[in-house]
Amino acid sequence: MNEIDAVRSLAALAQEMRLRVFRALVVAGNQGLTPGALSEQLDVAPNTLSFHLKELTHSNLVSQERQGRNLIYRASIATMNDLLGFLTENCCQGAECLALQATSCGC
């Protein structure tokens, strides 16, 4: 990940509802969620959700797939891991970081 992509991803997540949407999609995993399910789960109006999903999709943090008449949204775990890697790339000046080992989720 480069600096421009990192800033785009961080900017997308720097809004409360988009962060909530992204986290809900991370929890949903590969199954993903429809906009209707997300709207209900997060108690957000569909048009508001649509705006936030567009921003997350533009930042490549979320992908969209059509399944029949439904759209399925999924968190892009690869992009999330790239962002985390970019943010921690110089942690501990290149030495193995004990703090990262203690908090690693193994994703």
pTM of the model: 0.84
pLDDT in tens, 39-66: 999 999 999 999 999 999 999 999 999 9
Write the DSSP symbol of residue 71: E
Domains (ranges, CATH) in the chain? 3-103 (1.10.10.10)
pLDDT at 7 (0 to 100): 97
| Euclidean distance between CA atoms 80 and 90, whole angstroms | 17
Residue 64: phi and psi, rounded to 5, are -125, 135
Checking if the pLDDT of 97 tops 90, the result is no
Share of residues in the chain with pLDDT > 90 (%): 79
pLDDT at 92 (0 to 100): 74
